[in-house]
């Protein structure tokens, strides 16, 4: 075999040159990527901030911003940033969630229940100095009503609006098609008309090109970098009073363990779970110095939903839900054989409260509990009795129906949720003892079989708002899909006359106490029906640094949560501990480290160069 | 290298039957012209193949993500109070109420003009989202690529040359161990040790992100470099073993060759024999690997980008998939595939030039 030795000129260069070339390539790559992204505007402000020792509250967030336009933003994080940038007509009291003044100081319905008049406060100014008027609010609502592109995020709030006008700068009048009790719960950010009327296509305008963004909330958004951070500064002129921290930064952490590490280091002041820190994370932070783990009642419920027979609005049945579940006795038997206490202890490891009624206890006005005789507490013997009564007798170790078929069920589970899987195992065991077979179908996205009605049971859960209208509305007949398998507003195809009548009644009831009473009747009906079995209310578990945050308002204020509140209470009320201890230390030490790293690299490179040169000389000499 | 490249290479080698010593003489003008022509034909075939592949990818990307059973509108609005009319309006806006064939033809038609549509969740053109995240990915994976390739080649050469020695055994075992470590786990470990600090080791590096925000000029470059250290170390640590092993085995193949004995017999220093004679011949398989890896530079590293909250394409793809944000994932998939196809085509085209036994 003849193998040609390449001529000397074509030879690869020495090791050193290869290394130098790689280094240069790396630098070129780095330079090419860095330079276009240099922020030009924010820099001087930042430098100043570091020098004058402004207090900064840094919050680790898991979600990224989908849009900074309040007309488009869908994600929870983006909508909560809107809450900080723009004032809403009303707000929710941190103590008990009742509606309190926001941009509107008072609101009242007409005698015929169809006209609401809001008094707009005269002490609120846009951050560019202009006065906030009722005209801004009227323009915002009218825009959502008339422009499909502007209705993406908040269209549901105006669906029942007939007409919105501003007869005077302090008076906003909303006329309705039907009476609506939720008029103090219009969670719509009011934007400055003089800025937004210049926007052409609302469906494409993301409000992220010009900073600072004109607003009138407790904070003014000053800078934003996609998937990295959102920076806001305190609005010193905010009518309720200026926030105590000078700056609020939301920093994106896509990995929750990394966010916990950042808290431990002091790089961030606050970390929330998504939706909660895992029991392991909470446990590891509990002993940490200067870190406080805060556990408050969650706003979510975790439930088991049964398929009541999927149907369309005009009553066409579809799907393949097990017919046995159409029998209320069977549904109740299933729920009588669930040991909720074990689930709380073993699966949630104590970070949840046992569930009963549809609305979590943190919303005390609407919280409902079954009476002793109504209660479906853990009772396998009673469950077996109910199954016998329903015609599902034990044959060997299997329940068999009148048609001779064994009672085998499927449950939809979210593959991404470890709780679903763990609870699925318990259910298999408990229901197995009763003679019921269970197949746990874990999928990345359960929505397709769910909307096709191709399931028997499903793990379900909703985040509840202070006003329960929405979570109640998803069980009305009106929420059913128009066509089979279409996704719709419905949660799990419940459609019942009694429930619907109660729903209409509560929406038209303007007396808060009477309305709460009707809502409780609905919860009671739902409980008895056995369609929705609320297993637990998972707690919100989060942590913050006590050496950076001295105090912060929770919601409810007695032992509540901090992240994802209804309102801006937490960040608006947070008091800094001492002065600027948060990022000053990190910055200076990091600069030192960078310099150190550079020195080491330079020394190593010089040493390498020296050795290579020496070697090269010897080689050349010998050759 | 793609499989179909081999026959073409052989064809070129067959065409090159002239004595290379005559290559420079006037008599060799004919064969040389023939060679150039054959090479150009070969290149044209490769480019045509790549174009066909790109079109296939375009079509695949449309159907691939529609196979995921899911409802983007419902996912995006999940948990928020949204009425049925609003859901319908969103579906209409996203074009999801159109028949599949119309969605497909408009997607392909638009894509051919460079328009990949508007992201469902970000309300911005997909191309804008990609160009926004691309620099961050190129910075991270590009830097790592250069470093792990250089390190792999260097260590691969050393270990092969000292085959069987303690350092060879140690280096190979160490590289293989790192290679089998999950990158996100190593990343988290580095964060705990070097960001938070353990025992006497101080927390030196940031826990995530690309920048602290607010720096400018040289301070900004330093800040980004500071943020870059840990993710790059992670990628280099799990990535260099592959190059090391390929380099090592191909150099071991060369080491028994006669030409090396000849070189040594000439009295050349061991170092020179290795650098100037053995390594260039052993580089060819490594070149192939380098081009394959180059194609993956654009795709980023989803896990590492996630652990270090790096605002790159990998993270964007993950966010797109979770909806699924169809225009976004389609566009990203196409860009990723294009990068790999281009790198492969480049490898195919350059290979005859790099290999002296084949190219001339």
Q: How confident is the model at residue B30 (pLDDT cuts 50, 70, 90)?
A: low
- ipTM reported for the complex surpasses 0.85: no
Answer with the residue of higher pLDDT: A113 or B351.
Answer: A113
Q: Is A612 on the interface with B (CB under 8 A)?
A: no
Cross-chain residue pair A255–B89, CB shorter than 8 Å? no
| DSSP per position, A259-305 | HHHHHHHTS-SEEE-SSS--HHHHHHHHT-TTEEEEEE--SEEEEEE
The first and second tokens of residue B84, run together, are 């049925």
Residue of chain B nearest A227, judged by CA positions: B311
Q: What's the pLDDT score for residue B264?
A: 86
Query: Residue B191: pLDDT band by 50, 70, 90 thresholds?
Result: very high
Q: What pLDDT shows up at residue A561?
A: 92
Q: Which of chain A's residues have a Cβ under 8 Å away from the Cβ of B68?
A: 444-445
Nearest CA in chain B to A489: B84
Residue A49: per-residue pLDDT: 41
CB contact under 8 A, B69 and A12: no
Contact A45 B225 (CB under 8 A): no
Whether A13 has its CB under 8 Å from any CB of chain B: the answer is no
**DSSP H helical ranges for A317-408:** 328-336, 340-342, 380-389
List of chain B residues whose C-beta atoms are within 8 Å of the C-beta of residue A75:
121
Beta bridge partners of residue A442, listed in sequence order: A413
| Residue A611, both tokens | 């050795």
When CB atoms are compared, the residue of A43, A64, A264 closest to B214 is A43
Least CB–CB distance from B207: residue in A5, A46, A261: A261
Q: How far apart are CA A182 and CA A216, in angstroms?
A: 24
**Do B213 and A42 lie within an 8 Å CB cutoff?**
yes
User: How confident is the model over B70-105, as pLDDT tens digits?
Assistant: 778 877 776 666 777 777 878 888 888 888 888 999
A22 in contact with chain B, both atoms CB, cutoff 8 A: yes
Cα-Cα-Cα-Cα dihedral sign, residues A323, A324, A328, A333: negative
Q: Quick check: A34 and B139 CB within 8 A?
A: yes
* Among B147, B161, B203, the residue to mutate for chain A (most A Cβ within 10 A): B203
Cα A466 to Cα A573: distance, rounded to the nearest angstrom: 20
**Using the beta-carbon criterion (under 8 Å), do A30 and B143 form an inter-chain contact?**
yes
Residue B358 confidence (pLDDT): 54
Residue B282's closest CA among A168, A157, A455, A3?
A3
Does the CA dihedral B335-B340-B343-B348 come out positive or negative?
Answer: negative
Distance from CA of A39 to the nearest CA of B (A): 6
Inter-chain contact A227–B153, Cβ cutoff 8 Å? Answer: no
Q: Do B147 and A489 touch (CB under 8 A)?
A: no
Q: Which residue of A has its CA nearest to B232?
A: A26
What SS3 state is found at B202? Answer: strand
The Cα–Cα gap between B310 and B298 comes to 14
Q: Which of A74, A258, A623 sits opposite B208 (nearest CB)?
A: A258
Spell out where A432-566 has E strands.
437-443, 457-463, 532-538, 540-545, 549-551
Which residues are CB-neighbours of A232 under 8 A, at least 6 positions away? A81, A84, A85, A219, A220, A221, A222, A247, A248, A249
Per-position b or e across A561-598, b if 16+ CB within 10 A of its CB: bbbbbbbbbbbbbbebbeebbbbeeeeeebeebbeebe
Residue B108 has pLDDT above 60, yes or no: yes
Give the pLDDT of residue A609. Answer: 61
pLDDT for residue A74: 82
In angstroms, the CA A531 to CA A495 distance is 11
The predicted structure's pLDDT at residue B94: 85
Picking from A25, A47, A593, the nearest residue to B204 by CB comes out as: A593
pLDDT category at B25 given cuts 50, 70, 90 is very low
Inter-chain residue contact B118 with A72, CB threshold 8 Å = no
Instruction: Provide, as residue numbers in chain A, all residues whose Cβ is less than 8 Å from the Cβ of B154.
Output: 15, 18-19
CB of A33 within 8 Å of any CB in chain B? yes
Burial class of A472 by CB neighbour count within 10 A (0 to 12, 13 to 18, 19+): buried
Looking at residue A181, the DSSP 8-state letter turns out to be T
With CB atoms and an 8 Å threshold, state whether B309 touches A227: yes
- How far apart, in whole angstroms, are the C-alpha atoms of residue A361 and residue A381? 29
Q: Which residues in chain A are contacts of B147 at CB distance < 8 A?
A: 22, 26
**Shortest Cα–Cα distance, B84 to chain A (Å):** 5
Nearest to B123 among A204, A449, A622 (CB): A204
Asked whether the beta carbons of residue B150 and residue A148 sit closer than 8 angstroms, the reply is no
Q: Is A39 on the interface with B (CB under 8 A)?
A: yes
- Residue of A228, A254, A589 with shortest CB distance to B306: A254
CA distance A495 to A479: 9
Region B34-60: mean pLDDT is 88
Tell whether A488 lies on the interface with B, counting CB pairs under 8 A.
yes
Q: How far is CA A559 from the centre of its chain?
A: 20
CA distance B52 to chain A (A): 30
- B191 Cβ contact partners less than 8 Å away, ≥ 6 residues apart: A257, A258, A261, B207, B208, B230, B307, B308
The residues of chain A scoring below 70 in pLDDT are 1-52, 579-623
Nearest CB among A14, A254, A618 relative to B309 is that of: A254
- Tens digits of residue pLDDT in B296-343: 888 768 889 989 999 999 889 988 887 889 999 999 999 999 999 999
- Closest CA in chain B for residue A268: B207
Which residue of B lies nearest to A17 if distances are taken between CA atoms?
B150
A11 to chain B, any CB pair closer than 8 A? The answer is: yes
* A608 in contact with chain B, both atoms CB, cutoff 8 A: no
Residues in chain A closer than 8 A to B221 (CB atoms): 30-31, 34
Measured between beta carbons, the chain B residues lying within 8 angstroms of A488 are 84, 87
pLDDT of residue B128: 93
- For residue A583, what pLDDT is reported? 41
Q: What's the gap in Å between the CA of A50 and the closest CA on chain B?
A: 10
B19 min Cα distance to partner chain A (Å): 12
Top-confidence residue, A90 or B46: A90
Of A499, A495, A489, whose CA–CA distance to A477 is shortest?
A495
Compute the Cα dihedral for A87, A92, A93, A95 and give only its sign: negative
Chain B residue closest to A4 (CA)?
A: B357
Surface of A (49-108) touching B: CB under 8 A? 49, 64, 66-67, 69, 72, 74-76, 79
Mutate which: A24, A74, A280, A586, vs B, most B CBs within 10 A:
A74
- Check CB contact under 8 Å for A203 and B123: yes
B267 CB contacts (<8 Å, ≥6 apart)? none
Distance CA A444, CA A455 (A): 15
- What does the DSSP 8-state code read for residue B322? T
Which residues of chain B are within 8 Å of residue A470 when distances are taken between CB atoms? 81
Give dist(CA A380, CA A386) in Å, integer.
10
User: How large is the C-alpha radius of gyration of chain B?
Assistant: 25
Inter-chain CB proximity B208 and A253 less than 8 Å: yes
List, in order, residues 6 or more apart from A118 with CB less than 8 Å away.
Answer: A89, A104, A106, A107, A134, A137, A171, A172, A173, A174
Is this model's pTM higher than 0.90 or not? Answer: no
Q: Write out chain A residues lying below 8 Å of B189, CB-based.
A: none
Does B123 contact A72 at a Cβ distance shorter than 8 Å?
A: yes
């Amino acid at each position: 075999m003849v193998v040609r030795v390449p001529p000397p000129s074509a030879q690869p260069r020495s090791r050193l040159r290869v290394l130098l070339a790689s280094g240069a390539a790396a630098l070129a790559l780095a330079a090419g990527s860095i330079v276009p992204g240099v922020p030009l505007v924010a820099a001087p402000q930042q430098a100043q901030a570091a020098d004058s020792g402004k207090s900064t509250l840094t919050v680790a967030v898991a979600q990224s911003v989908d849009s900074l336009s309040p007309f488009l933003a869908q994600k929870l994080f983006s909508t909560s940033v809107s809450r900080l940038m723009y004032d809403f007509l009303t707000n929710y009291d941190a103590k008990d969630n009742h509606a309190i003044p926001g941009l509107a100081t008072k609101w009242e319905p007409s005698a015929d229940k169809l006209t609401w008049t809001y008094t707009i406060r005269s002490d609120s100014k846009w951050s560019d100095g202009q006065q906030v008027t009722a005209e801004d609010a009227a323009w915002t609502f009218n825009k959502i009503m008339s422009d499909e592109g502007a209705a993406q995020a908040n269209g549901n709030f105006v669906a029942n609006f007939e007409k919105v006008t501003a007869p005077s700068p302090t008076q906003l009048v909303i006329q309705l098609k039907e009476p609506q009790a939720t008029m103090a719960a219009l969670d719509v950010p009011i934007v400055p008309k003089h800025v937004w009327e210049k926007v052409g296509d609302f469906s494409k305008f993301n409000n992220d090109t010009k900073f600072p963004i004109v607003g009138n909330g407790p904070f003014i958004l000053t800078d934003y970098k996609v998937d990295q951070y959102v920076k806001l500064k305190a609005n010193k002129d905010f009518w309720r009073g200026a926030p105590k921290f000078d700056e609020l930064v939301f920093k994106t952490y896509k990995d929750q363990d990394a966010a916990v590490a950042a808290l431990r280091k002091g790089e961030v002041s606050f970390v929330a779970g998504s939706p909660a820190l895992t029991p392991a994370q909470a446990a590891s932070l509990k002993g940490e110095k200067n870190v406080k783990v805060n556990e408050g009642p969650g706003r979510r419920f975790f439930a088991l939903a049964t398929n009541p027979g999927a149907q369309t609005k005009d009553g066409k049945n579809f799907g393949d839900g097990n017919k046995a579940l159409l029998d209320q006795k069977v549904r109740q038997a299933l729920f009588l054989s669930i040991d909720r206490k074990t689930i709380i202890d073993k699966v949630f490891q104590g970070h949840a409260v046992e569930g009963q009624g549809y609305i979590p206890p943190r919303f005390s006005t609407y919280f409902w509990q079954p009476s002793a005789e109504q209660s479906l507490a853990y009772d396998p013997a009673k469950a077996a009795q109910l199954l016998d009564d329903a015609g599902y007798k034990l044959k060997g170790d299997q329940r068999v129906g009148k048609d001779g078929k064994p009672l085998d069920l499927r449950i939809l589970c979210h593959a991404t949720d470890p709780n679903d899987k763990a609870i699925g195992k318990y259910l298999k065991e408990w229901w197995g003892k009763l003679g019921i077979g269970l197949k746990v179908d874990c999928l990345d996205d359960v929505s397709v079989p769910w909307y096709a009605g191709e399931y028997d049971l499903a793990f379900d859960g909703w985040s509840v708002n202070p006003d329960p209208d929405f979570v109640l509305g998803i069980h009305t007949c009106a929420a059913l899909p128009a066509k089979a398998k279409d996704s719709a507003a419905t949660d799990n195809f419940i459609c019942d006359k009694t429930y619907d009548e109660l729903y209409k009644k509560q929406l038209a009831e303007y007396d808060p106490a009477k309305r709460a009473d009707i809502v409780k009747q609905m919860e009671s009906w739902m409980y008895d029906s056995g369609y929705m079995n609320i297993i637990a209310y998972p707690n919100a578990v989060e942590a913050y640094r006590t050496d950076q945050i001295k105090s912060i308002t929770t919601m409810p204020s007695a032992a509540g949560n901090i992240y994802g509140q209804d309102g801006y209470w937490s960040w608006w009320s947070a008091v800094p501990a001492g002065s600027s201890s948060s990022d000053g230390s990190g910055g200076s030490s990091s600069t030192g480290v960078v310099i150190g790293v550079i020195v080491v690299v330079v020394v190593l490179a010089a040493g390498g160069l020296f050795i290579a040169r020496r070697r090269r000389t010897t080689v050349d000499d010998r050759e | 290298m793609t499989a179909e490249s081999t026959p073409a290479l052989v064809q070129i080698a067959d065409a090159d039957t002239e004595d290379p010593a005559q290559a420079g003489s006037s008599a060799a003008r004919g064969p040389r012209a023939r060679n150039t022509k054959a090479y150009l034909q070969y290149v044209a075939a490769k480019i045509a193949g790549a174009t066909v592949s790109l079109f296939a990818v375009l079509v695949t990307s449309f159907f691939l993500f529609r196979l995921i059973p899911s409802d983007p509108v419902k996912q995006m609005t999940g948990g928020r109070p949204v009425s049925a009319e609003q859901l319908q309006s969103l579906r209409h806006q996203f074009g999801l109420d159109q028949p599949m064939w119309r969605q497909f033809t408009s997607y392909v038609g638009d894509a051919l003009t460079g328009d990949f549509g508007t992201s469902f969740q970000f309300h911005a053109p997909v191309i804008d989202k990609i160009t926004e995240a691309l620099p961050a990915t190129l910075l991270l994976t590009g830097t790592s690529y250069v470093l792990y390739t250089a390190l792999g080649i260097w260590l691969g050469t050393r270990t092969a040359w000292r085959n069987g020695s303690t350092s060879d055994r140690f280096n190979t075992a160490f590289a293989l161990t790192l290679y089998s470590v999950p990158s996100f786990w190593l990343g988290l470990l580095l964060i705990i040790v070097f960001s938070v600090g353990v025992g006497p080791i101080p927390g030196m590096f940031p826990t995530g992100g690309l920048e602290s925000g607010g720096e400018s000029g040289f301070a900004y470059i330093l800040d980004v470099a500071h943020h870059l250290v840990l993710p790059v170390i992670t990628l280099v640590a799990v990535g260099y073993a592959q190059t090391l092993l390929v380099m090592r085995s191909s150099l071991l193949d060369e080491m028994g060759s006669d030409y090396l004995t000849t070189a040594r017999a000439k009295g050349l220093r061991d170092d020179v024999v290795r650098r100037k004679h053995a390594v260039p011949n052993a580089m060819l398989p490594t070149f192939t690997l380098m081009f394959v890896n180059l194609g993956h530079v654009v795709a980023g590293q989803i896990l590492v980008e996630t652990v270090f909250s790096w605002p790159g394409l990998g993270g964007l793809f993950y966010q797109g998939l979770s909806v699924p944000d169809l225009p976004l994932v389609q566009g990203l998939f196409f860009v990723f595939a294009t990068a790999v196809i281009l790198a492969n085509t480049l490898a195919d085209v350059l290979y005859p030039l790099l290999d002296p036994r084949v190219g001339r």
